[in-house]
Amino acid sequence: MAAKTNKRKVLWLGLGLLVALLVVGLIGLYQTATSTDSDEPVGGPIEMPSTQGDFSLAQLEEGDIAIVSFGYTYCPDVCPINQAVKRQALAQLDETQRERVVPLLITVDPERDTLSRMEEYMQFFGSEFIGLVGSQTQLEDVAARYGVIWRRVEAPDSAMSYTIDHSASLFLVNREGEILQRVLYSPTPHGLISALEHELAR
């Protein structure tokens, strides 16, 4: 009788341990899934002083798309290439489509990029290009929501004093700040053209 009781106790302990392991495993899977989701850019509002006055995504018309990128005017390569890619992509759209697209550059170097400097820089690419210069707090908030990272790299032997390494993706965003597509950096416009045509046709 005692042996049967002990066997039952062992059986129940085994079942209890199995249930506990299952629960822990499910919790782990849930946390993994939710942490993965939270790592994705969430987008959201963008409101900053700009080269065309105070800017907000909410100013866009329904169906308009902003091409959002992050960079700075002293950037030697990636940033001017990104702006040139935007310009090339816009040139491939018809006039009605172009009117629905707003190219934006948010500076990651508010220390040096004044609005007047940004205005001069954006003119190289077209009158429709808008440069945004926010405070450090505004930049950190927007960059975090769009999954953008940047870091200052000191360059004591350079006339620039420092450079900034930063994310170079382009974001297609609507007036609500919803990220419609994220376009990885490329020196050619093909990916951006494809993404714009897809979203403009919806």
Ranges of each domain in the chain: 1-39, 47-200
Mean pLDDT of 140-153: 97
Query: Would you say 40 and 146 are in contact if contact means Cβ atoms under 8 Å apart?
Result: no
The DSSP secondary-structure symbol of 147 reads T
Residue 8 is encoded by which pair of tokens?
């039952």
What residue spans of the chain are helical by DSSP H? 2-39, 78-91, 95-98, 115-122, 136-145, 190-200
pLDDT band at 34 (very low <50, low <70, confident <90, very high): very low
For domain 47-200, give the CATH number: 3.40.30.10
Question: What's the pLDDT score for residue 13?
Answer: 45
> Mean pLDDT over all residues of the chain?
86
Share of the chain above pLDDT 70, in %: 81
Binding-site residue ranges for Cu cation? 75, 79, 166
pLDDT above 90 (res 30): no
Binding-site residue ranges? 75, 79, 166
Span 104-129, pLDDT tens digits: 999 999 999 999 999 999 999 999 99
The pTM of this model reads 0.80
Q: What angle do CA 72, 78, 81 make, to 5 degrees?
A: 105
pLDDT above 70 (res 1): no
- The residue with tokens 């308009």 is 64
Query: Would you say 130 and 119 are in contact if contact means Cβ atoms under 8 Å apart?
Result: no
Question: What's the pLDDT score for residue 25?
Answer: 37
Mean pLDDT of 63-70: 98
Query: Would you say 49 and 134 are in contact if contact means Cβ atoms under 8 Å apart?
Result: yes
Residue 105 is encoded by which pair of tokens?
């550059």
Question: What's the pLDDT score for residue 179?
Answer: 98
Share of the chain above pLDDT 90, in %: 77
For the chain, give the number of residues: 202
Question: What's the pLDDT score for residue 8?
Answer: 54
Mean pLDDT of 53-66: 98
Whole-angstrom distance, CA of residue 27 vs CA of residue 158: 51
**DSSP string over 81-125:** HHHHHHHHHHHTS-HHHHTTEEEEEEES-TTT--HHHHHHHHTTT
Q: What angle do CA 121, 122, 124 make, to 5 degrees?
A: 75
pLDDT band at 181 (very low <50, low <70, confident <90, very high): very high
